């Protein structure tokens, strides 16, 4: 059973049932991780403060 990279607690996930792009959460510390690799299992912490990509500001042309 994999462990949480943040708090070292066991993560309640089945390694053979997750796919790249899945989000898993630690029940103990509440951290969320994205699965970036499955063999071996690689997890990257999901940052809560990520801002969505904004479209460039376009000024209205006045005539």
53 pLDDT more than 80:
no
59 within a domain of the structure (yes/no): no
7 within a domain of the structure (yes/no): yes
Helix (H, G, I), strand (E, B) or coil at 17: helix
pLDDT in tens, 4-46: 999 999 998 988 899 999 999 999 999 999 999 998 999 999 9
52 within a domain of the structure (yes/no): no
The pLDDT of residue 62: 57
How many domains does one find in the chain? Answer: 1
CATH of the domain at 20: 2.20.28.160
- Residues paired with residue 10 on neighbouring β-strands, in sequence order: 3
51 within a domain of the structure (yes/no): no
Length of the chain: 63
The pLDDT of residue 47: 79
30 within a domain of the structure (yes/no): yes
Rounded Cα distance, 38 and 11, in Å: 15
Instruction: Lay out the sheet containing 41-45: strands in order across.
Output: 23-25, 32-38, 41-45
Q: Write out the residue range of the structural domain in which residue 37 sits.
A: 1-46
Rounded Cα distance, 45 and 40, in Å: 16
């Amino acid at each position: 059973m994999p462990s949480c990279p943040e708090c070292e607690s066991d993560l309640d996930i089945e390694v053979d049932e997750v796919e790249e792009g899945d989000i898993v959460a630690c029940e103990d510390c509440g951290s969320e991780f994205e699965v970036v690799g499955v063999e071996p299992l690689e997890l990257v912490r999901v940052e809560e403060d990520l801002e969505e990509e904004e479209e460039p500001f376009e000024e209205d042309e006045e005539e």
